[in-house]
Structure 1
Amino acid sequence: MTKLRFFILVMSAVLLASCNDKGLNLTDGDKQITPQIDDAISHYIVKKYATSYYGTEKQFEVHKVYGTSEKDGILSVYMWSYYGGFNQANGLEAQSGHSLPALIRLKQEGDAYSVIDYTEPQDGSMYQSSLEKMFPAKYVKSARRDNGNIGGLEKKMDKKVKAWLEKPDS
């Protein structure tokens, strides 16, 4: 009887581990992210935070996509987002903003994409557990690694801000 219990315990552990990513068909990286999806994500986040940070002339968002999954026509994007508000007088120095992991879900409507859900991890002691609920396990590891390490995103942000500084009406 002990061998049977051990076998059941091991099989249960294997089954639970395989279910950790909730049966998602994951695509690593940004392979499914078209320029339209990329723009829809940034536009949504800039609009969402437009009234949260005051005193900036222009706001931008850039992101790093860890992966995607698609189910029933809904695209889930697991990413790290960097949002910043800028003023011409301060150049590339962000005056406000944030950097955090996010899960965004989009639905295609004709040629456009609309955001139907946006989730960020909770603050404080709930951060880790809420991140684990949002992201598949392998993307949780990526988000932990990127926490405080957004050098690549800063370069993408600088490029957007420089373009605006050269043509501030755009």
Structure 2
Amino acid sequence: MQFGLIRMILIILLLTGCNAMDRSSAVEVTSEMNEVISDYIIHYYEKAYMKTDEQFEVHKIYGAKKIGNVTTVYLYSLYSGFNKETKTEGQSGHSVPAIIKLKDENGKYVVSYYKEPSDGDDFKNTLYKIFPRKYAAQALNDTENLAGLQDELQQKAEAWLRN
């Protein structure tokens, strides 16, 4: 009886310690980090799609963790290119979950890694391989509604057209 109680206490302490460690590495994504992420994705897809007058990217952050000087960010990205003549009608783009790693180099963030799940039949499997389970489930739900990012992207395009 006493051994069972000690074992249960040890298990509880171990689980509590693991949860505390997991939380301690969680970090908030700053506006600077968000800007680096958007700039990187826009540049990354610059030549992948047809040429447009302006490109915008918006994203939803699921979570981020920091290990050493590298912050890993799990996100859902919506990217589109626009032309003055077609106004707010996107001409090319994508919506996709992605993982991005930002390395802190002397106070500036630099992208050290970027990955998206595979397209097609392998999408769900690769999403679960690169994302923590809780974020992968959210991303799967968000594929139906573009993670609620369409309005934000539209606002950026409208602001650009006004200038």
- TM (norm. structure 2) is 0.82
1:13-59 CA distance string (max 9 Å, x none): xx9xxx9xxx85464xxx61111100000000000000011131111
Number of residue pairs the alignment of both structures matches = 145
Change (3 A) 1:34 1:120: same
**Match for 1:32 among 14, 28, 50?**
28
- Residue 126 (structure 1) shift: 1.6
Paired AA for residue 80 in structure 1: Y
Q: What residue number does 1:52 align with?
A: 48
Give the aligned residue type for 1:84.
Answer: S
Distance 1:40 1:157, change over 3 A: same
Q: Residues 100 and 151 of structure 1: is their aligned pair in 2 closer, same or farther, counting only changes over 3 Å?
A: closer
Among 103, 123, 129, the alignment partner of 1:127 is 123
- Structure 1 gaps of 5+ residues are 1-10
Q: Give matches, 1:72-91, under 5 Å.
A: 72-91=68-87
Shift of 1:151: 6.2
Deviations 1:45-96 (A, max 9, x none): 0000000111311111100001111112111110100010000111111000
Runs (4 or more) in structure 1 with deviation over 6 Å come to: none
Q: How far apart, in 2, do the equivalents of 1:87 and 1:33 lie?
A: 31
| 1:160 equivalent in alignment to 2:160 | no
Aligned residue for 2:50, secondary structure, equals coil
Determine if the alignment matches structure 1 residue 142 to structure 2 residue 138.
yes
Describe the SS at the equivalent of 1:59.
strand
Greater Cα offset, 36-45 or 118-127: 118-127
Q: Percent identity?
A: 41
Distance 1:140 1:160 in 2: 27
